Chain A
Amino acid sequence: MFAQLIASGLVNGSVYALVALGMTVLYRSTTIVNFCHGEFFMLGAFAVLIPLQTFGFSYAESIVFSLIFLFLVGGAVEKILMRPLQHAPHISLAMMTIALSYLFKGVSRFFFGREFKPLQPLIQGRPIEIGSVILLPQDLLTVGFSLLIVVGFFFFFQKTQTGKVIQAASQTPRGASLVGINVPMLRNLMWGVGATLGAVAGILIAPTTLVYPDMGAHMLVQAFAAMTLGGFGSLPGAVIGALSLGMLENLIGGYLSSSLVEITSYLAIIAVLIVRPQGIMGEWRQGRG
């Protein structure tokens, strides 16, 4: 049972990792904690569901549509709403993301009410047995995709020229713009990327959780917990925190009580912040200027 709990914990954790990674990328490049990230997640799932079930697109086409759509939404949010406020106090920026969260939730509720929509799995198939662990093909796909994206991200940020430029821009925005890096453009790009990451997570988890306007709120808290656990703003921290959270939830649910699963993330947040506020990997801070 232990192996099974760990394995399905990793499946959940890898989805949390994608959401937390998206929030961390945004936090690092803009120092904004994005309260509407859960809604990007929800919109990503709806943007697959609508073309697929209403307009008869194929699954692959719908996914491509959803990713492009969310990239554009993220970019538009930055350009129209966040950029005019870039010199406003942090608390106003947080308020803006909260307002956006209401807006997106309102729009999806306007069209779908309080319905719960099912979405078919990406791949069908019989459960796969590996030793004592049984996983669905969809689970393996989720883990595989998440792994691919996480590894891709680290490679991109550490090894490529563009990745290093983005790192520079988020470490010292002013210094970066002095050496000719287009910081606003990169911020715009990172909003797009963050939203797309949210969408990927939404698409991967939608077949197991159903699609509904409020699906983002819970995921937002999980991502907060993962980020806090791993170290706020640290990219590896977000991933490690997310995977630990996924496993922790399952172990607590399996060995103690299933009613404790929903508060694991809250308990983790409270315990970490009181005992080790910088998290597992240590927090990340933007440099001066």
Chain B
Amino acid sequence: MDEPNMTTTLAAPARGSARRIGLLVLLALLCLLPLAINDYLQFVTNTMLVYCLVAVGLNVVMGYLGQLAFASAAFFGIGAYAAGLSMVYMGLSFPVAMVIGTACGGLAGALVGLPALRVRGYYLAIITLAFGELMRWVYVHADTVTFGSGGFNVPAITFFNAHIGDKGKYYLFLATVVIGVGATSLLLRSRFGRAFVAVRNNELAAASLGINVNRTKVIAFAWSGLITGLAGALYAALNGRVTPDTFGISQMLMHFAIVMIGGLGSLAGSIIGAVLLTGLPELLRNFPGLEEIVFSLLLILVLFLMPKGVGGFLAGHIPWLRERLYREGKDA
């Protein structure tokens, strides 16, 4: 690293145009992808897209705000349930349901942000984990509304009365992910995003500069909930079925692992992490146990070799990948 003591590295903006062209080429390739892959790989790719959003949502709170919050599985579930149930009960079309799921996720995020004003570190991790498990209990026991532990089927998604298959969903998901990640990236570069990072680096100093720390935290949590809730809505559409067991601790640990592997405070890293950790278990699905073993070995390897995650590792070696407000390793 050339600036060893800086917590925040500001990338030189001159490489902006090269990066923009690179992104456009990538996007064009992604648009052509469904032509090259079969239905199964399409499903896996769609799952990856969903987890890209999840990882970006969690990274806002963990990487940029620097809070150890374990509630993203809960936001994910709330988004999925809100979107799915509004389609079942009100017969809403998927785009509207998606908005409802996103809004509910955002509300839950703001709600979880409140204890974060008081509780921090491991305590915050535990209280948010408890919130997630509480939500799962609600899904099981509020069975008159949520259909209990068996879950429910989400109505098929249509577009002007035409059924949309996995390839169709892919374009919908891709557009959503581009918008979601783009909006997050803009937010992070705005006054709000800089406030997140200021609060992360030093709450007292941030407050002394006139940043409202409490409001900043609630905003970051709400945004995280919003993006993760949106991912939840997509997840409901992807699988066509929502069950309470999906949103337990193992889901949460998966989200945490994706963000850690990708790198805290790196959006590109989050996306890489999501692709890696969603793709890999899928390849090993038919070997019980092996899935977890390979997954854990990958985590251990990254922890040893790339302490800042894949995103941080790449940014250290390829300068134009460096993001603004990139998080240097700082104790949580």
Contacts and interface: CB of A to CB of B under 8 A. Distances in A.
Q: Are the chains A and B members of one assembly? A: yes
Interface of A: 33, 35, 81, 84-85, 88-92, 94-96, 98-103, 105-111, 113-114, 217, 221, 224-225, 228, 232, 259, 262-263, 265-267, 269-270, 273-274, 277
B299 to A, nearest CB: 4
B126 A110 contact: no
A217 B249 contact: yes
A84 B301 CA distance: 12
Contacts of A98: 253, 256-257, 299
A224 B127 CA distance: 10
Contact of B300 (A81, A90, A113): A81
Given A85-B303, A110-B288, A263-B133, 8 more contacts: A35-B253, A88-B307, A89-B332, A91-B260, A102-B299, A110-B290, A266-B133, A270-B134
Given A232-B123, A263-B137, A266-B130, A92 B307 contact: yes
B331 A273 contact: no
B171 interface: no
15 contacts: A85-B304, A89-B330, A89-B332, A92-B307, A95-B256, A95-B257, A95-B299, A100-B296, A105-B292, A113-B288, A221-B130, A221-B249, A267-B130, A269-B130, A273-B123
A218 to B, nearest CB: 9
A92 B260 contact: yes
Interface residues of B, number: 42
Interface of B: 68, 115, 118-119, 122-123, 125-127, 129-131, 133-134, 137, 141, 249-250, 253, 256-257, 260, 264, 288-297, 299-300, 303-304, 307, 329-332
Nearest to A113: B288
Contacts of B300: 81, 96, 99, 103
Nearest to B135: A266
A277 B123 contact: yes
Contacts of A99: 257, 296, 299-300, 303
A90 B137 contact: no
A91 B332 contact: yes
A106 B123 contact: no
A267 B292 contact: no
Contacts of B290: 106, 110
Nearest to A106: B292
A262 B137 contact: yes
Contact of B289 (A108, A228, A267, A269): A108
A96 B307 CA distance: 11
Given A81-B300, A92-B260, A270-B130, A103 B123 contact: no
Q: What are the 10 closest A-B residue pairs judged by CB atoms, nearest first?
A: A110-B289, A106-B292, A99-B299, A103-B296, A102-B296, A109-B289, A106-B293, A266-B130, A91-B332, A269-B130
